[in-house]
């Protein structure tokens, strides 16, 4: 009987080498243990199974071992098996299947901890504030949020998505704040996902965003504190198994201008930094285009001394200005891309090459004008101010778009491109909520709040677009 | 469909572009333009800013003089292109200088070009040389390269306007606005080249002169220019030097608030020039106490008399040359439109009864109370 089962399972797993079949004999009873050696911890197998089984008394062995063990082992560790598919899933999830002659088979969890420990955030660093970050471990991630919001109002809905990967995805929300419609739409969208495998939260992000905008309409965060703050505002946080990034829905355009640091700093300084960020956004998108427009069409727009200066620098540069601008942008992107991909040790070589070849040699050789290097560098630095990679890439996309329009029609082209940009932004939606809120639809109070940070005591209202109950923060 | 829409929008903006595509290094940026008229031809002298990069990255600034002539000004400017490699660009014109012959007979034709041409920047300053040609003003030594100090002239014009009150810094746009109004003869600052003792030449901005009937009139003297600027509230603070007790003293006048009122009563024109001005002692040069009420009264009387003197001199000038610098006819045109034609050809300065009312007050006596010297 047991041999038969063994043969069958072996056949189904195509003799996979990491599936271990171990036959033991205890008090004349044949027992078969099946587990995946790469996913299980041998200590757990010893502790939960072998130790318990060998010390069983004969009286019990003859009767129901499952019933006995479920009394002395925590319930979630020992589970019964529904059908064949369940059995295979359990083996691949790190359970050990125990099959006893003439008795009901059951599974005991003997998972190996395959993830790294909690580390500091890598992409969203901050000087002050907590220093823990999500890891690849799903349970740990939920725990990190639970640790911060210790109330039964924190709701979690779990789904399993991915036909092959069977990835667990959790929707976290605050029961007493969330707008039910928002939760319903997101849940429905997740239910309809029909995909092979979810290997990272960005898979879900891409499916939920479902638009062709370069701007990120869903923010990813690796910080449990950011996730908790968003939950308390009435947003939804989606955590995915094996992904150290949580998704926050809905995301507004103004959220991209807020850094983690903002929550833990003096409000006056935060306001100042935020204004700098908005300025940086404008510089990053418009500056190269403005330079192209002014130096090729609208010479009247700048003071004469500056104009003469520009003209002198252009002297002897062989390419038309727009080619120079696009070329330098391309060079910057090459540098950035290679710097990200390179391991840190060879990264220095790139910086040296970039600095010497572009900063000095290209100008000295007369291929580009120094002012163009300054303009492109300034706009690139401004765009790197944003920690969100999606935002940096969106800025790059629109920067090139603006340069091309400035090259076609000068300042009028820039205005035209601005109309397109504003139109594009206001047509976007994040989780069915308008992306440009609180600018459009207009809300004076929150427009002020996203630019000027008030004292935390005075920021006591939630955005009405996110919640229809519990509008006041402290009053829960 | 959406793509077609976007494509259409892009097509629409192409004809919208007002200016032509022009790379900066192909432009000859003209900073000063001189216009002369000689033998039925216009002569153009353009000072072009030229900055060359040397091999070690430094920049050397030069001004190059471009010269050409033609039957009209526009043609003359185009003719510059025959001789020089770069396109003439007037969008950053800082100074326009009209030469002697233009000042005598061709002002209207010149202004027609300057207003009509969209290439000319309207915020440049306009100056007239009544005594020499514009070419001589821009290029006194007749060199290929020179350094006519455009920026310096601009800033000295600005300073003189604010601090001496003898000239008026006027942009081309402001000048044209006055020029196009009825019943006002606009003034232009005068520039000329003075010869120093050591044969070097020296650019001097002198006073103002009105433009009347296609011709620049006789130049105002210093007193008349100050009077003009006081009535038009043009300066910040200036120094006047009246006599007091047989000593020349210095008084700073500041914050002028003046207004001209003209009324027609029984076909008689009554003009009131009301001036309120503040004063402070600058140099007293004698042992008097300016805080003493009697002395103050006396000083105020002296200032009043001095200013009245200046304004009377200006009125006399207007009587003599029949030019309406203060724009009395303009006031009548605005307030008594129907009667305007009766007064159009009269000299209002001889016809009307002009009263000058000056209120002044010495507010500050300087850093010392009593005169010690």
Q: Distance between CA atoms of A88 and A12, rounded to whole angstroms? A: 9
Q: Do A98 and A168 have their domain in common?
A: no
A304 and B53 within 8 Å at the Cβ level: the answer is no
Q: What is the mean predicted confidence (pLDDT) over B353-365?
A: 82
Same-domain status, A274 and A404: yes
Closest CA in chain A for residue B52: A312
Confidence of residue B106 (pLDDT cuts 50, 70, 90): confident
B233 CA to centre of own chain: 14
- Assigned domain for A469 exists: no
Pairwise CB contact (< 8 Å): B53 & A297: no
The arithmetic mean of pLDDT across residues A163-167, rounded, is 89
Smallest CA-to-CA distance from A376 within A289, A305, A311, A312 is with A289
Of B9, B17, B51, nearest to A311 by CB-CB distance is: B51
Tally of domains in chain A: 3
Contact B19 A304 (CB under 8 A): no
For A173-186, write each residue's pLDDT tens digit.
Answer: 998 889 899 999 99
Statement to judge: residues A214 and A294 lie in one domain? no
Angle, helix A180-191 to helix A201-209, in steps of 10 degrees: 110
pLDDT recorded at residue B356: 86
pLDDT confidence band for A269 (50 / 70 / 90): very high
Q: Where are the alpha helices (DSSP H) in A193-320?
A: 201-209, 224-233, 267-296, 304-314
- Domain co-membership, A24 together with A74: yes
Same domain, A245 and A285: no
End-to-end CA distance of chain B, in Å?
A: 91
Q: Return d(Cα B145, Cα B130) in angstroms, integer.
A: 25
Domains located in chain B, CATH noted: 25-218 (no CATH), 220-373 (3.30.300.210)
The reply to whether ipTM tops 0.90 is no
Contact B16 A409 (CB under 8 A): yes
Amino acid A347: pLDDT: 65
Can you tell me the distance from the alpha carbon of A177 to that of A186, in angstroms, rounded to the nearest whole number? 16
Kindly give, in sequence order, each residue whose CB lies less than 8 Å from that of residue B287, ignoring residues fewer than 6 positions away: B370, B371, B372, B373
Q: How far, in Å, are B29, B121, B124, B215 from residue B33 at the CA level? A: 11, 11, 10, 20
Residue A362, domain extent: 265-434
Residue A421, in any domain of the structure: yes
- Residue B130: pLDDT over 60: yes
- pLDDT grade for B245, boundaries at 50, 70 and 90: confident
From the list A299, A311, A409, the residue facing B17 with the nearest CB is A409
| Confidence at residue A397, expressed as pLDDT on a 0 to 100 scale | 93
Question: Are residues A313 and A422 both part of a single domain?
Answer: yes
Whether residue A429 sits in one domain with residue A285? yes
Q: Are A13 and A84 in contact (CB under 8 A)?
A: no
**Residue A115 covered by a domain:** no
Give the distance from residue B59's alpha carbon to the nearest chain A alpha carbon, in angstroms: 8
Residues A150 and A36 in one domain: no
Q: Is the pLDDT of residue B97 over 80?
A: yes
Residue A33 in 3-state DSSP? strand
Please determine, for residue B371, whether its predicted confidence score (pLDDT) is greater than 60: no
State how far the Cα of A379 lies from the Cα of A336, in Å rounded to an integer: 14
What is the band of B80 on the pLDDT scale with cuts at 50, 70, 90?
A: confident
- pLDDT > 70 in chain B, percent: 90
Distance from CA of B159 to the nearest CA of A (A): 20
Residue A443, CA distances (Å) to A301, A350, A447, A448, B164 in order: 35, 47, 6, 9, 54
Least confident of A52-66, A213-227, B278-292, B303-317: A52-66
Q: Which of A297, A307, A312 sits opposite B53 (nearest CB)?
A: A312
Interface A-B, measured as beta-carbon pairs within 8 A, has a size of 82
Across residues A290-297, what is the average pLDDT? 90
- pLDDT-based confidence at residue B167 (cuts at 50, 70, 90): confident
Tokens coding A181 = 């419609």
In a domain, A213, yes or no: yes
- Residue in A403, A398, A410, A402 with CA at minimum distance from that of residue A324: A403
Facing residue for A307 by CB, picked from B23, B52, B92: B92
Supply the mean pLDDT for chain A.
Answer: 86
The answer to whether the Cβ–Cβ distance between B92 and A299 falls below 8 Å is yes
Instruction: Give the pLDDT confidence score for residue A370 in this predicted structure.
Output: 87
What are residue A74's DSSP bridge partners?
Answer: none
Torsion from C-alpha of B3, B6, B12, B14, nearest 10 degrees: -90
Cross-chain CB nearest to A409 (options B14, B59, B121): B14
Q: What is the pLDDT of residue B197?
A: 65
Taking only the tens place, the pLDDT of each residue in A425-448 is 999 998 889 999 888 889 898 899
**pLDDT tens digits for range A89-140:** 888 888 888 888 778 888 888 887 777 788 888 888 888 889 999 998 888 9
A253 pLDDT more than 90: yes
In terms of pLDDT, which residue wins out, B140 or A34? A34
Q: Average pLDDT for residues A256-284, to the nearest whole number?
A: 92
3-state secondary structure of B353: strand
B25/A364 CB distance under 8 A: no
Q: Which of residues 165-224 of A touch B (CB under 8 A)?
A: none
Query: If you ran DSSP here, which 8-state letter would residue B140 be given?
Result: T
Same domain, A208 and A318: no
Q: Which residue of A has its CA nearest to B9?
A: A416
* Position A257 in a domain: no
The DSSP result for A348-391, as a single string, is: HHHHHHIIIIIIIIIHHTTSS-HHHHHHHHHHHHHHTT-S-HHH
**Residue B183 pLDDT more than 70?**
yes
**Structure tokens, A310:** 């520009």
Interchain CB distance below 8 Å, B25 and A311: yes
What mean pLDDT do residues B231-256 have? Answer: 85
Q: What is the pLDDT of residue B14?
A: 67
Output the CA torsion A293→A299→A300→A305 (10° steps): 120
For residues A208-220, average pLDDT: 88
Query: Is there a contact between B30 and B46 (Cβ–Cβ < 8 Å)?
Result: yes
Contact at CB, A416 and B31, closer than 8 angstroms: no
In chain A, % of residues over pLDDT 90? 33
What does the pLDDT look like over A89-98, one tens digit per residue? 888 888 888 8
Residue B18, pLDDT > 60, answer no
Residue B363 Cα, gap to closest chain A Cα (Å): 40
| CA A392 to chain centroid | 15
Tell me, yes or no, whether A180 lies in a domain. yes
A311 to chain B nearest CA, in Å? 5
Q: Residue range A6-31: average pLDDT?
A: 83
Q: How far apart are CA A290 and CA A402, in angstroms?
A: 9
Answer yes or no: do B53 and A315 touch at CB < 8 A.
Answer: yes
Any idea what the Cα angle at residue B216 is, between residues B211 and B218, rounded to 5°? 110
**Mean pLDDT over residues B186-209, rounded?**
77
Task: Say if residue A75 is in the same domain as residue A149.
Answer: no
Q: Is residue A399 part of a domain?
A: yes
Nearest CB to A300; choose among B24, B52, B121? B121
Per the structure block, which two tokens stand in for A204? 């879900």
Chain B positions with Cβ closer than 8 Å to A: 9-10, 13-14, 16-25, 27, 29, 31, 49, 51-53, 57, 59, 61, 89, 91-92, 94, 121
Spell out which residues of chain A touch residue B27, defining contact as CB-CB under 8 Å.
299, 311
* Amino acid B196: pLDDT: 65
Q: Is the pLDDT of residue B62 over 90?
A: no
Say whether pLDDT at B199 is over 70.
Answer: no
Q: Are residues A274 and A402 in the same domain?
A: yes
pLDDT at residue B268, rounded to an integer: 82
User: What tens digit of pLDDT does each residue of A314-353 get?
Assistant: 877 888 888 899 999 998 888 888 888 877 766 677 777 7
Residue A129: inside a domain:
no
Which tokens belong to A353?
Answer: 């090459």
Kind of pairing between the strands at B250-265 and B237-240: antiparallel
| Beta-strand relationship, B27-38 and B41-53 | antiparallel
What's the pLDDT at A435?
Answer: 92
Q: What is the mean pLDDT of residues A197-201?
A: 92
**pLDDT (0 to 100) of residue A289:** 95
Q: What is the pLDDT of residue B164?
A: 83
Question: Are A300 and A420 contained in the same domain?
Answer: yes
pLDDT band at B370 (very low <50, low <70, confident <90, very high): low
A412 near B CB under 8 A: yes
Average the pLDDT over B73-99 and give the result. 85
């Amino acid at each position: 009987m047991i041999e038969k089962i063994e043969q069958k399972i072996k056949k189904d797993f195509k003799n996979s080498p990491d599936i271990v079949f171990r036959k033991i004999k205890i008090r004349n009873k044949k027992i078969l243990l099946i587990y995946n050696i790469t996913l299980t911890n041998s200590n757990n197998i010893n502790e939960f199974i072998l130790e318990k089984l060998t010390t069983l008394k004969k009286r019990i062995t003859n009767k129901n071992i499952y019933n006995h063990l479920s009394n002395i082992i925590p319930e979630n560790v020992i589970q019964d098996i529904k059908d064949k598919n369940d059995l295979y899933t359990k083996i691949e999830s790190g359970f050990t299947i125990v099959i006893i002659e003439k008795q009901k088979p059951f599974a005991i969890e003997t998972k190996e901890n395959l993830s790294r420990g909690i580390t500091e955030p890598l992409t969203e660093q901050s000087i002050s504030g907590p220093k823990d970050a999500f890891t690849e471990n799903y349970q740990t991630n939920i725990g990190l949020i639970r640790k911060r919001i210790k109330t039964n109002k924190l709701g979690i809905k779990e789904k399993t998505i991915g036909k092959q990967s069977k990835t667990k995805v959790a929707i976290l929300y605050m029961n007493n704040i969330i707008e039910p419609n928002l939760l319903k739409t997101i849940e429905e969208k997740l239910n309809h996902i029909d995909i092979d495998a979810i290997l990272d939260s960005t898979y879900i992000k891409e499916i939920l965003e479902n638009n062709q905008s370069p701007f990120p309409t869903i923010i990813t965060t690796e910080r449990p504190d950011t996730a908790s703050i968003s939950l308390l505002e009435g947003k939804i946080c989606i955590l995915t198994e094996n992904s150290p990034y949580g998704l926050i829905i809905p995301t507004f355009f103004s959220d991209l201008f807020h850094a983690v640091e903002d929550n833990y700093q003096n409000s006056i300084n935060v306001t100042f930094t935020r204004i700098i960020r908005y300025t940086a956004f404008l510089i990053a998108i418009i500056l190269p285009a403005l330079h192209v427009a002014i130096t090729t069409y609208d010479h009247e727009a700048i003071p004469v001394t500056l104009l003469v200066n520009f003209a002198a620098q252009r002297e002897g540069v062989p390419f038309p200005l727009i080619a120079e601008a696009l070329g330098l942008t391309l060079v910057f992107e090459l540098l950035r891309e290679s710097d990200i991909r390179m391991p840190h040790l060879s990264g220095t070589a790139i910086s040296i090459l970039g600095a010497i070849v572009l900063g000095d040699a290209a100008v000295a050789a007369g291929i580009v004008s120094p002012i163009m290097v300054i303009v492109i560098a300034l706009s690139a630095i401004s765009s790197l101010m944003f920690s969100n990679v999606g935002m940096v890439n969106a800025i790059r996309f629109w920067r090139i778009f603006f340069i091309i329009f400035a090259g076609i029609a000068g300042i009028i082209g820039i205005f035209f491109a601005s109309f397109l940009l504003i139109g594009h932004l206001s047509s976007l939606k994040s989780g069915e909520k308008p992306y440009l809120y609180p600018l459009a639809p207009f809300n004076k109070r929150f427009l002020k709040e996203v630019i000027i940070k008030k004292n935390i005591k005075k920021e006591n209202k939630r955005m009405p677009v996110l919640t229809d109950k519990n509008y006041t923060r402290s009053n829960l | 469909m959406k793509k077609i829409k976007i494509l259409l929008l892009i097509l629409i903006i192409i004809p919208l572009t007002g200016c032509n595509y022009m790379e900066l290094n192909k432009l000859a940026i003209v900073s000063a333009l001189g216009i002369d008229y000689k033998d039925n031809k216009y002569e153009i002298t353009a000072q072009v800013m030229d900055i060359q990069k040397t091999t070690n990255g430094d920049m050397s600034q030069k001004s190059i003089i471009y010269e050409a002539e033609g039957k009209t000004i526009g043609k003359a400017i185009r003719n510059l292109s025959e001789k020089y490699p770069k396109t003439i660009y007037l969008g950053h014109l800082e100074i326009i200088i009209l030469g002697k012959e233009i000042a005598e007979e061709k002002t209207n034709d010149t202004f027609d070009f300057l207003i009509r041409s969209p290439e000319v920047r309207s915020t440049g300053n306009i100056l007239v040389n009544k005594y020499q040609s514009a070419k001589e003003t821009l290029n006194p030594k007749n060199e290929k390269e020179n350094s006519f100090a455009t920026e310096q002239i601009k800033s000295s014009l600005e300073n003189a306007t604010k601090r001496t009150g003898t000239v008026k810094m006027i942009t081309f746009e402001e000048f044209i606005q006055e020029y196009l109004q009825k019943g006002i003869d606009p003034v232009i600052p005068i520039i000329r080249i003075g010869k120093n003792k050591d044969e070097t030449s020296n650019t001097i901005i002198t006073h103002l002169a009105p433009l009347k009937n296609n011709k620049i009139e006789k130049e105002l003297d210093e007193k008349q220019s100050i009077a003009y600027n006081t009535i038009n509230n043009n300066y910040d603070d200036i120094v006047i030097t009246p006599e007091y007790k047989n000593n020349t003293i210095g008084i700073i006048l500041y914050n002028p608030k003046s207004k001209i009122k003209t009324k027609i009563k029984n076909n008689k024109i009554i003009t009131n020039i009301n001036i309120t001005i503040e004063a402070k002692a600058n140099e007293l040069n004698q042992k008097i106490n300016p805080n003493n009420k009697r002395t103050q009264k006396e000083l105020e009387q002296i200032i009043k008399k001095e200013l009245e003197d200046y304004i009377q001199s200006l009125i006399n000038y207007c009587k003599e040359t029949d030019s309406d610098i203060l724009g009395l006819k303009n006031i009548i045109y605005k307030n008594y439109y129907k009667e305007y034609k009766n007064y159009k050809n009269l000299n209002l300065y001889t016809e009307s009864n002009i009263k000058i009312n000056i209120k002044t007050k010495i507010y500050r006596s300087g850093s010392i109370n009593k005169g010690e010297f």
